[in-house]
């Protein structure tokens, strides 16, 4: 019986024997003083996966967006946020002195008008959205968003949590969600120097220099090893991908047959 109260129904289990060895769970010191072993290597792997220039690992989504908007924001910046953007990303954006303006969900015309208004007021637009919306099942019009942000010397800040391991490079003969993973940017074949991408506990960056954002990760060593396992896509990761596909197909079959269990 599948238990949907836990993400482990997808088979994402990783015992200690699968991750290799480690000497200690942490360095035992404040994370601002030193990055844990493996953090920089994992960041480089994630940046490569998405086709970005650099990355840094941070401990949580809230840390990520608070630090990011503290770096990008200023008296000349204003956040333009998709009305359905992830709430925690919005919490991070709330500290930008220039304030926040909402625009309609996936409405590039409304965004363009909001960006023009920013320009009239002498403000830089920081466009915030999710790469993929699980509510409507669509990828955001990222190419249009990136063009608008770049036109007014702003940034496109993308939360790609939902798409990172699902969407990949699209082609006519590829799988329905593309191949290779990497998220919404890979799916849209989009590269631009003013795009910043966040995902869960990781931050990928273009243009924003890595040295400007302090790595305060303090992740446990097994957590970094487990993340690297899937980012690399090695044999164990690929076999688990196949197992996840099998489980999802089983879920679809059970749902179609009406054999569903709801946990309260």
Task: State the virtual CA torsion across 107, 77, 148, 194 in degrees, nearest 10.
Answer: -120
Phi/psi at 43 (5° precision): -60, -40
Q: What is the DSSP code (8-state) at residue 206?
A: S
The pLDDT tens digits for 20-74 are 777 777 777 776 677 777 778 888 888 888 888 877 777 778 878 888 898 888 8
Whole-prediction pTM value? 0.77
* Parent domain of 79: 33-219
Structural domain contains residue 166: yes
Structural domain contains residue 167: yes
Structural domain contains residue 15: no
Structural domain contains residue 28: no
pLDDT confidence of residue 61: 80
Structural domain contains residue 172: yes
Q: How many CB atoms lie within 10 A of CB 25?
A: 12
* Cα–Cα distance for residue pair 252/250, rounded to 1 Å: 5
The pLDDT tens digits for 76-133 are 999 999 999 989 899 999 989 999 999 999 999 999 999 999 999 999 999 999 999 9
Structural domain contains residue 236: no
Structural domain contains residue 57: yes
Question: Is a pLDDT exceeding 80 seen at residue 210?
Answer: no
pLDDT confidence of residue 261: 41
User: How many residues does this entry show for the chain?
Assistant: 264
pLDDT confidence of residue 208: 44
Q: Is the pLDDT higher at 41 or at 176?
A: 41
How far CA 166 is from CA of 133, 179, 262, in Å, comes to 13, 9, 25
Task: Kindly report the average pLDDT of the chain as a whole number.
Answer: 77
The count of structural domains within the chain is 1
User: 178 with 187: CB under 8 angstroms?
Assistant: yes
**E strand intervals along 83-148:** 100-103, 124-130, 132-133, 138-139
Question: Is a pLDDT exceeding 60 seen at residue 5?
Answer: yes
* Cα–Cα distance for residue pair 44/75, rounded to 1 Å: 32
Nearest to 97 by CA among 115, 116, 79, 82: 79
Instruction: Tell me the β-bridge partners of 57.
Output: 202
Instruction: Read off the CATH number of the domain in which 197 is found.
Output: 3.40.640.10
Q: How confident is the model at residue 264 (pLDDT cuts 50, 70, 90)?
A: very low
Structural domain contains residue 247: no
């Amino acid at each position: 019986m599948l238990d949907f109260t836990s993400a482990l129904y997808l088979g994402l289990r990783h015992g200690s024997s699968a991750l290799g060895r480690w000497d200690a769970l942490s360095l035992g010191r404040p994370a601002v003083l030193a990055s844990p072993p493996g953090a920089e290597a994992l960041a480089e792997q994630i940046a490569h996966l998405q086709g970005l220039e650099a990355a840094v690992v941070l401990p949580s989504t809230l840390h990520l967006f608070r630090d990011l908007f503290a770096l990008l924001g200023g008296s000349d910046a204003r956040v333009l946020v998709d009305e359905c953007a992830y709430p925690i990303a919005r919490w991070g954006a709330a500290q930008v002195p220039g304030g926040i303006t909402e625009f309609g969900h996936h409405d590039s015309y409304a965004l363009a008008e909001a960006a023009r208004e920013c320009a009239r007021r002498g403000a830089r637009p920081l466009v915030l959205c999710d790469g993929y919306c699980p509510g409507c099942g669509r990828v955001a019009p990222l190419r249009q968003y990136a063009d608008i942000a770049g036109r007014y010397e702003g940034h496109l800040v993308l939360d790609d949590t939902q798409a990172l391991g699902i969407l990949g490079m699209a082609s006519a003969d590829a799988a329905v969600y593309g191949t290779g993973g990497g998220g919404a940017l890979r799916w849209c074949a989009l590269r631009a120097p003013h795009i910043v991408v966040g995902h869960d506990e990781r931050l990928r960056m273009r243009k924003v220099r890595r040295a400007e954002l302090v790595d305060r990760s303090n992740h446990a060593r097994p957590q970094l090893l487990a993340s690297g396992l899937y980012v690399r896509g090695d044999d164990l990761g690929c076999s688990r991908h196949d197992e996840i596909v099998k489980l999802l197909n089983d879920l679809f079959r059970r749902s179609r047959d009406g054999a569903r269990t709801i946990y309260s």
